[in-house]
């Protein structure tokens, strides 16, 4: 008679896979950074690195909403990019119409207060918008065939675009640039705007806060258990409707923060912004590993570096093609993305 070996705990069984995915992601990142340094002129390294980090931070914030919703209910929310677009208009309206601002603020204390106010306002408003979208458009179709909510998401996208067109028109609208562009620091002889540091800092702060919320709070545990097994979580007392609503609330709030950053950095927005930014953010989520929040953030920064590197090398028009070619190459060798999916490992 032979004895049966004890089963390996799930946490230990997953560790080699997760470690392998992280190692592959780091190797890919190192190779990509080497290629980036090779194609970008050396006298532009610092400046373009700051631009890539800033653009990547915007994509990462939008991508987090995609990957959170997919991780919970396995829905590709194509309207999320337009939630980001609406967030940029909400921040524009708050600054220009409510606060009556039309230029930079040079008083540091006043600037901090205004920035805090616009971020809170945009994130709260867009969080509410996300909850309303989930309640009216997605919840009634939760048990329908998967094609139904997917088509509904596209419909919601067009609805948001038409609402913005009706209010602001089909033209590009300028946003008050309240952060002084003259505020720079010199790094290795190259000037870098303080705005770049601020945007990257805000993005990393929100990402860390999200990780702490999901990993260490009761609602975070409810989200992770719902992602692993919705029926079992419901039997254990988790309010599924509330958990999914909170997921949309957080994801849409992050998109609202990205909308504020968009206005601060570019000083303009338009109703078509959501389609292109949403497509790239979705690509970032898939590239990093759909359902994996860290992977989505990593994918956003990778796309930022690809686009800025292509622009600096004189191939700006080829930037989107290079982004999607990179996605195809990664998925060929690692179909689950650089860091892998965590749908079944979240609880």
Copy the structure tokens of residue 182: 């003259």
Residue 183 carries which DSSP code? -
3-state DSSP assignment of residue 9: coil
What is the pLDDT confidence band of residue 20, given thresholds at 50, 70 and 90?
low
Residue 138's closest CA among 245, 225, 222?
A: 245
**Residues 311, 317: Cα–Cα separation, whole Å:** 8
Residue 337's closest CA among 325, 327, 323?
A: 327
What is the pLDDT confidence band of residue 282, given thresholds at 50, 70 and 90?
confident
**Residues 39, 306: Cα–Cα separation, whole Å:** 11
Checking if the pLDDT of 19 tops 70, the result is no
CB 252 within 8 A of CB 132: no
Average pLDDT over residues 53-59: 91
Contacts of 181 (CB under 8 A, 6+ apart): 104, 193, 195
Chain-centre distance for alpha carbon 178: 23
Checking if the pLDDT of 16 tops 70, the result is no
**Residues 79, 24: Cα–Cα separation, whole Å:** 31
Looking at the chain, how many residues does it have?
A: 347
Copy the structure tokens of residue 193: 């705007």
Q: Where are the domains positioned within the chain?
A: 43-273
Cα dihedral sign, 48-337-291-248: positive
3-state DSSP assignment of residue 192: strand
What is the pLDDT confidence band of residue 2, given thresholds at 50, 70 and 90?
very low
Q: Three-class SS string for 232-272?
A: HHHHCCCCHHHHHHHHHHHHHHHHHHHHHHHHHHHCEECCC
Q: Which residues pair with 187 in a beta bridge?
A: 190
What is the pLDDT confidence band of residue 4, given thresholds at 50, 70 and 90?
very low
Mean pLDDT of the chain: 83
What is the pLDDT confidence band of residue 279, given thresholds at 50, 70 and 90?
confident
Q: Which residues pair with 193 in a beta bridge?
A: 184
- pLDDT for 341: 61
The model's pLDDT over 86-139, given as tens digits with 9 standing for 90+, comes to 999 999 999 988 988 888 889 889 999 999 999 999 999 999 999 999 999 988
Q: Residue 314: how many CB atoms within 10 A of its CB?
A: 10
The model's pLDDT over 254-268, given as tens digits with 9 standing for 90+, comes to 999 999 999 999 988
Tell me the whole-structure pTM to 2 decimals.
Answer: 0.85
- pLDDT for 189: 76
**Residues 163, 256: Cα–Cα separation, whole Å:** 17
Residue 65's closest CA among 52, 53, 76?
A: 76
């Amino acid at each position: 008679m032979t004895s049966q070996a004890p089963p390996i705990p799930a946490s230990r069984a997953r560790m080699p896979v997760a470690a392998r995915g992280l190692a592959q992601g780091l190797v890919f990142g190192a190779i990509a950074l080497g290629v980036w340094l090779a194609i970008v002129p050396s006298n532009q390294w610092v400046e373009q690195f700051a631009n890539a980090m800033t653009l990547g931070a915007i994509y990462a914030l939008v991508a987090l909403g995609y990957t959170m919703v997919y991780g919970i209910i396995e829905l590709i929310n194509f309207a999320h990019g337009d939630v980001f677009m609406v967030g940029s208009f909400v921040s524009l309206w708050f600054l220009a119409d409510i606060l009556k601002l039309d230029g930079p603020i040079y008083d540091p204390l006043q600037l901090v207060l205004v920035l805090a106010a616009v971020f809170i306002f945009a994130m709260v408003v867009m969080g509410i918008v996300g909850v309303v979208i989930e309640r009216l458009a997605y919840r009634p179709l939760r048990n329908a065939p998967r094609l139904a909510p997917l088509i509904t998401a596209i419909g919601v996208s067009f609805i948001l675009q038409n609402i913005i067109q009706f209010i602001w028109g089909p033209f590009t609208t300028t946003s008050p640039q309240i952060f002084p562009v003259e505020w720079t620091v010199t790094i290795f002889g190259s000037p870098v705007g303080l705005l770049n540091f601020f945007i990257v800092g805000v993005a990393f702060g929100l990402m860390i806060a999200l990780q702490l919320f999901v990993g260490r709070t009761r609602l975070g545990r409810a989200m992770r258990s719902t992602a692993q097994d919705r029926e079992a979580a419901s039997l254990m007392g988790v309010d599924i409707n509330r958990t999914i609503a909170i997921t949309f609330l957080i994801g849409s709030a992050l998109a609202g923060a990205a909308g504020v950053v968009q206005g601060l950095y570019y000083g303009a927005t338009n109703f078509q912004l959501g389609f292109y930014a949403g497509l790239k953010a979705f690509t970032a989520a898939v590239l990093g590993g759909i359902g994996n929040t860290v992977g989505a953030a990593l994918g956003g920064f990778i796309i930022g570096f690809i686009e800025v590197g292509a622009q600096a090398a004189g191939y700006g028009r080829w930037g989107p093609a290079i982004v999607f070619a990179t996605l195809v190459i990664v998925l060929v060798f690692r179909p689950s993305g650089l860091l892998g999916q965590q749908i079944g490992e979240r609880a």
